[in-house]
């Protein structure tokens, strides 16, 4: 959305409350912005300094020369309304208020938060937060996170737009996904969402060319009707994955203590998500795993899955998980016709097992793997492929990535890479190539099931069935 351009790709960013003191949030925010390599103008604002991190420092936001697209207020809660007012006068497009101490802390905090809403009413200034760890947009090198970069690793540019109601969970999940090199197109912690909420951000990511899927961690939904109409519209064009906590009364209570918002009835939400075809995740790992599958993989056109492995047990376990209904529906094993079986036979060792799952055994070579992947990706009897890439078997090396890339251009392909040392580099390569790859059998299978749920919804949308 054009209205969000100044957030997604600002020309000038101010950090109000910037500090040279490494223990202050105003230092971390400025430091992250600088070290991320942000190429626009950066304005530290603090009346006590002439210069911070080598940048000229301004006494207040209104003395900054020229336009400011994004301002981060890294000051205590009680100062926020006044400084926000200054930002409004300065016509700052987007303001992030980091401090907590608002509606999540009861009546007094709620009043303070209401005053923030009043300050921006009628203005063009939009507010993120309060009580937010900030935003990250790797494509435009914007990073306003409040955590120093030596404590959290931030993901590089990718295709997943990540909305989180919890800041800490968002940061920790981002830290986690750097392990396998997964990138994001953007991250916003909505915090108390006094203004900008999850629906705004879904619209934003819908209009963001770099974003191919949207994932949201939510503890509560402020307006069910608005949520319903937004996810319905957005999810038609870009897949949304939602992790919504509060499935039990105890979990709702926990969410309410955390962000001060009342959690909605989970059955109602479940119904809404089903109706609008949003894939639901049940934990933080699924959230990003599914976002990755939906961003990278081709749509899955049916439920017939071929499984290719050089480790028999993985094929058996995959079949078990794939054909069992769990939190998601069962898929089925693709069946090959006689011509295909004869072709498969040509490219495998006699000891290989060719009844899907295809087990080339530990003696299977990269060449055999490649020929068979090619057959599978051209088969009319196959909708999707789960391929295990296991560099631990002696005749498989990292060049398997080429046939995998070629197969995934033709057929929905998900890769499992199980292990530790030897698999690390292959994982990173697959990620770079935009192939969804996962380090456990369960995660590999669940990602395929998520694609199936998406495809079911798309077919319903297109053909009404």
Rg from Cα positions in the chain: 24
Kindly tell me the sign of the dihedral angle through the C-alpha atoms of 108, 109, 114, 116: positive
Residue pair 104/259 in contact by the 8 Å Cβ criterion: yes
Q: Which is nearer to a second copy, 169 or 407 (CB)?
A: 169
Query: With respect to a second copy, which residue has the nearer C-beta, 123 or 361?
Result: 361
If one asks whether residue 313 binds a second copy (CB under 8 A), the answer comes out as yes
Find the largest Cα–Cα distance for the chain.
80
Q: Does 267 bind a second copy (CB under 8 A)?
A: no
**Separation of alpha carbons 50 and 243, rounded Å:** 45
- Between residues 233 and 247, which has the closer beta carbon with respect to a second copy? 247
- Closest to a second copy by CB, 20 vs 148, is 148
Question: Which CB, 151 or 274, lies closer to a second copy?
Answer: 151
What's the CA gap between 424 and 413, in Å, rounded? 19
Closest CB 66 distance from a second copy, rounded Å = 34
Q: Hey, which residues between 428 and 457 contact a second copy (CB under 8 A)? A: 439-442
Q: From CA 348, how far away is CA 369, in angstroms rounded?
A: 8
CB 286 → a second copy: shortest distance, Å? Answer: 8
- Contact flag: residue 166 with a second copy (CB under 8 A): yes
Tell me if 224 contacts a second copy by CB under 8 A: no
Contacts of a second copy in 225-244 (CB under 8 A): 243
Q: Which of 15, 30, 314, 415 binds a second copy (CB under 8 A)?
A: 314
State the nearest-atom distance from the C-beta of 247 to a second copy, in Å: 5
Give me the residue label for tokens 């953007």.
186
Instruction: Measure the CA dihedral 101/269/278/8, to 10°.
Output: -20
- Is there binding between residue 172 and a second copy (CB under 8 A)? yes
Q: Total binding residues for a second copy by CB under 8 A?
A: 84
Q: Which of residues 201-220 bind a second copy (CB under 8 A)?
A: 217, 219
């400011």: which residue's tokens?
68
CA gap 274, 231 in Å, rounded: 11
- Using DSSP, state whether 353 is helix, strand or coil: strand
Binding segment toward a second copy, per CB under 8 A, in 7-15, 40-48, 160-168, 407-415: 160-168
What CA–CA distance (Å, rounded) separates 436 from 295? 9
| Under rule CB under 8 A, residue 23 binds a second copy | yes
Q: Which of 171, 188, 447, 448 binds a second copy (CB under 8 A)?
A: 171
381 belongs to the binding site for a second copy (CB under 8 A): no
Instruction: Give yes or no for residue 53 binding a second copy (CB under 8 A).
Output: no
User: Which of 7-15, 111-119, 272-280, 315-323 is the region at the interface with a second copy (rule: CB under 8 A)?
Assistant: 315-323
224-237 helix and 266-275 helix, angle to the nearest 10 degrees: 30
Q: Which residues, numbered 330-369, are part of the site for a second copy (CB under 8 A)?
A: 330, 332-333, 351, 353, 355-357, 359, 361-362
Residue 101 binds a second copy (CB under 8 A): yes
Please give the structure tokens belonging to residue 22: 């490494």
- CB-wise, 175 or 301, nearer to a second copy? 175
Tell me how far, at minimum, the Cβ of 282 lies from a second copy, in Å: 7
Residue 212 Cβ vs a second copy, minimum distance, rounded to whole Å? 23
Which residues have C-beta within 8 Å of that of residue 449, sequence separation ≥ 6? Answer: 322, 328, 329, 331
For residue 47, give the H/E element and its range: none
Sheet holding 41-45, edge to edge: 41-45, 12-16, 70-73, 94-97, 126-128
Using alpha carbons, select from 290, 338, 298, 336 the residue that is nearest to residue 444. Answer: 290
Stretch touching a second copy by CB under 8 A, among 204-212, 278-286, 337-345, 399-407: 278-286
| Closest to 135 (Cα-Cα) out of 177, 191, 91, 182 | 191
**What pairs with residue 411 in β-bridges?**
none
Chosen residue from 326, 329, 337, 342 binding a second copy by CB under 8 A? 326
Q: Which residues of 85-116 are buried (b: 16+ CB within 10 A; e: fewer)?
A: bbbbebebbbbbbbbbbbbbeeeebeebbebb
Tell me if 253 contacts a second copy by CB under 8 A: yes
Q: How far apart (Å, rounded) are the C-alpha atoms in residues 195 and 403? A: 48
Residue whose CB is less far from a second copy, 168 or 461: 168
Select from 3, 9, 35, 176 the one that contacts a second copy (CB under 8 A): 176
- Residue 361: name the closest of 373, 372, 349 by CA: 349
Count of alpha carbons within 13 angstroms of residue 31, beta-carbon side: 16
Among 26, 391, 403, 436, contact with a second copy (rule: CB under 8 A): 391
Interface pick for a second copy out of 20, 40, 81, 148 (rule CB under 8 A): 148
Q: How far is the CB of 434 from a second copy (least distance, A)?
A: 21
- Among residues 262, 419, 432, 460, which is the contact residue for a second copy, using CB under 8 A? 419
Nearer to a second copy, 112 or 311 (CB): 311
Q: Does 41 bind a second copy (CB under 8 A)?
A: no
């Amino acid at each position: 959305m054009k209205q969000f351009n100044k957030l997604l790709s600002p020309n000038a960013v101010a950090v109000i409350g910037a500090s040279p003191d490494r223990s202050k949030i105003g230092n971390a925010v400025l430091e992250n912005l600088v070290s991320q390599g942000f190429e626009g103008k950066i304005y530290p604002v603090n009346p006590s300094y002439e210069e911070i991190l080598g940048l000229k420092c301004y006494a207040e936001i209104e003395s900054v020369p020229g336009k400011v697209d994004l301002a981060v207020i890294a000051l205590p809660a009680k100062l926020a309304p006044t400084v926000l007012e200054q930002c409004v006068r300065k016509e700052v497009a987007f303001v992030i208020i980091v401090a907590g101490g608002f509606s999540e802390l009861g009546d007094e905090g709620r009043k303070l938060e209401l005053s923030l809403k009043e300050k921006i009413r009628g203005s063009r200034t939009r507010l993120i937060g309060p009580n937010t760890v900030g935003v990250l947009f790797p494509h435009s090198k914007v990073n306003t996170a409040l955590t120093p970069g030596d404590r959290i690793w931030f993901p590089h540019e990718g295709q997943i737009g990540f909305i989180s109601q919890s800041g800490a969970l968002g940061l920790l999940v981002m830290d986690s996904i750097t392990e396998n090199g997964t990138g994001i197109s953007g991250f916003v912690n909505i915090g108390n969402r006094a203004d900008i909420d999850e629906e705004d951000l879904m619209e934003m990511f819908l209009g963001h060319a770099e974003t191919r899927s949207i994932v949201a961690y939510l503890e509560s939904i402020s307006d069910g009707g608005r949520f319903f109409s937004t996810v319905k519209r957005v999810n038609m064009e870009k897949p949304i994955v939602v992790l919504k906590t509060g499935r039990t009364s105890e979990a709702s209570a926990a969410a309410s203590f955390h962000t001060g918002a009342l959690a909605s009835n989970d059955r109602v939400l479940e119904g809404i998500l089903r109706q609008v075809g949003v894939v639901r995740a049940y934990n933080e790992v699924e959230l990003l795993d599914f976002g990755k599958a939906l961003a990278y993989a081709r749509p899955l056109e049916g439920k017939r899955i071929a499984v290719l492995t050089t480790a028999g047990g993985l094929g058996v376990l995959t079949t078990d998980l794939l054909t069992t209904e769990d939190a998601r529906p069962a898929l089925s094993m693709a069946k090959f016709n006689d011509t295909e079986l004869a072709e498969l036979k040509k490219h495998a060792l006699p000891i290989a097992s060719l009844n899907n799952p295809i087990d080339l055994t530990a003696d299977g070579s990269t060449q055999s793997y490649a020929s068979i992947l090619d057959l599978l990706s051209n088969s009319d009897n196959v909708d999707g492929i789960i391929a295990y890439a296991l560099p631990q078997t002696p005749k498989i090396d990292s060049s398997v990535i080429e046939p995998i890339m070629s197969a995934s251009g033709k057929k929905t392909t998900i890769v499992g890479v199980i292990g530790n040392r030897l698999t690390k580099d292959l994982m990173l390569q697959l990620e770079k190539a935009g192939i969804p790859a996962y380090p456990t059998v369960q995660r590999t299978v669940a990602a395929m099931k998520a694609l199936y749920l998406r495809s079911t919804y798309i077919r319903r949308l297109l053909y009404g069935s």
